[in-house]
Amino acid sequence: MIKRRWFRRKPEVDCREVGRVLQSYLDHNVEADFAGRIASHLEECKKCGLEARTYTKIKHSLGETRPEVDPEAIERLRSFGNELTED
């Protein structure tokens, strides 16, 4: 008698799950196994693949065109943040 071993494959990810973790995936902040399943989904799903490509293009374009920020504006923002955290 031959025994068959049934290996449990990790479940596929769906569009909803990809949507929740897409930014983390694009920032390389998900575990390798999970990243592989997301990559497979992005290759198969036109909608999610397009969304990932769009986010990637946006991130690259924002990184290339980093405008000079007024140091006074940064200081005002820091002061405002500190005021929010004070008791």
Q: What is the pLDDT of residue 9?
A: 58
Tell me the C-alpha distance between 15 and 13, whole Å. Answer: 7
pLDDT at 31 over 90: yes
**pLDDT digit string, tens, across residues 35-50:** 999 999 999 999 999 9
| DSSP symbol at 30 | S
Name the nearest CA neighbour of 47 among 8, 78, 18, 5: 18
The pTM of the whole model exceeds 0.75: no
Q: Position of tokens 């973790």?
A: 21
Domain boundaries, given as residue ranges, for the chain: 15-85
Kindly list the distances between the CA atom of residue 29 and the CA atoms of 21, 23, 24, 56, in Å, as whole numbers in the listed order.
9, 9, 5, 15
